[in-house]
A and B are shown apart, each in its own frame.
Chain A
Amino acid sequence: MASPRDLTRTAALPAALLVAALLVAGVALAGCGSGSDAEGTTTTKADQIQGIVRDEPLQVGDLSLPEVAAGDTETPFAFRADDGKLLFVAFGYTNCPDVCPTTLYDIKKARKQLGADGDRVQVAFATVDPERDTADVMTQYLGSFATDGHPLRTDDPDQLHAAQDGFGVTSSVVKNADGSTDVSHSARSFVVDDQGDVVVEWSFGTGADVMASDLELLLAQQDGAS
């Protein structure tokens, strides 16, 4: 029975089991349906910000990084949302299969949840690994999560560090003798308002539901303030 050949797939279930299957189908589907239940977030509408809010907000509006586009054009991009909007910012690298796409996918989902207001949330992703993340790679990569996203990249380590300092994050890229590269970077993400203030910070794994809830509250606050 234990020979690998005997390992049954789903097809050969006896009828009795199938009847039982109907009874628990809801359970089974719920168990499999969602790929991101790790966050354990709920959809309860919160009336307060659930991410991290500092007493003294970080001010990043005077910092900028080059925004790259296909064909190597660069335009300075300041960390300040357009009027009446919010700017999501994350630092990472494209060969990151785990942390970065999780966060970027969450913000993609969160914007979708906001409906029409999703367009009032801008998305910027800055690479900490510019050597491998060329302008073309960055443009394509971020396009998978936000077609209107702002891919940020600089070859100047000082400029990158200045921007990271502003957000209180760090990163390192270490090339190993065997040709592999170890990258570490802060997994935190940020939301900047149209004054250049960081209005909320999210730890890794915050999840789309909390992001959407926070963004909704922040957009409403910004509307009230203007």
Chain B
Amino acid sequence: MKTQTLTRTATGLVVGALLLTGCGSSDSSSSSTTAAEKTTTTAPSLQIDDVWARQSPMGTSAGAVYLEITSPIDDELVGASVPTDIAGTTEIHETVMADEGEASTTEAMGDDDTSTTEMGGGDAMTMRPVESIELPAGETVKLAPGGYHIMLLDLVEPLEVGDTFEVTLSLQVAGDRTVTAEVREG
């Protein structure tokens, strides 16, 4: 995934805009300026990439939507919704360590020092609704497994690979944006 950093840095808007086309799941208010005009001067627009939901395992009625969002200004994601034929309730959630304190990251890969760490149940996780997600200007905030997600409750039907559906994001400053989520295997 070296390319990730590439896209996010200096190559800038042209690549950024094309990334959107690659995902087919974003909207941005940049419309018809040409690549040349866009290189340096134009203010960047709100960018929402890589919007996806996991295919529903059998037997569950809950789902999660993930995405990456970069706001050109300080903003906040304050709400999300999906059409009622997709899910009954939509909430913004965060997966967090269930116990405070000893939430140290003990993922020391293959290190011997792991034997000195207390390992009993220290990584219990839970999810909780959050009021909002901060979007600092220019920073790419990822909603990804193990962190933030848009929780879908009471799915009307299981989400299947290849399905797409609309997700409306409410931003404190920028207002509502509707993007398309794509269902993937995982």
Chain A interface residues toward B at CB < 8 A: 1-2, 4, 6-10, 12-14, 16-17, 20-21, 24-32, 34-38, 40, 46, 48-55, 94-99, 101-102, 104-106, 108-109, 136-141, 143-145, 164, 168-172, 182-188, 201, 203-206, 210
Contacts and interface: CB of A to CB of B under 8 A. Distances in A.
B106 interface: yes
A27 B110 CA distance: 32
B7 A31 contact: yes
A10 B4 CA distance: 21
Contacts of A188: 123
Contacts of A9: 24, 27
A168 B49 CA distance: 39
Contact of A48 (B29, B52, B110, B184): B110
A178 to B, nearest CB: 11
Given A24-B15, A97-B62, A52 B98 contact: no
B149 A97 contact: yes
Nearest to B57: A144
A96 to B, nearest CB: 7
18 contacts: A6-B31, A7-B177, A8-B32, A13-B21, A17-B17, A27-B7, A32-B50, A54-B115, A96-B127, A97-B54, A98-B149, A105-B185, A138-B59, A141-B59, A164-B121, A185-B98, A186-B125, A201-B119
A125 B108 CA distance: 25
Contacts of B178: 4
Interface of B: 1, 3-4, 6-7, 11, 14-15, 17-24, 27-32, 34-36, 49-50, 52, 54, 57-64, 66, 93, 95, 98, 105-110, 114-115, 119-121, 123-128, 142, 144-147, 149, 151-152, 176-178, 184-186
B120 A101 contact: no
Given A4-B176, A10-B21, A55-B115, A50 B109 contact: yes
Main secondary structure of the interface of B (DSSP, over half): mixed
Nearest to B129: A180
Contacts of B151: 97-98
A186 B121 contact: yes
A168 B121 contact: yes
A29 B27 contact: no
Contacts of A171: 124
Nearest to B64: A97
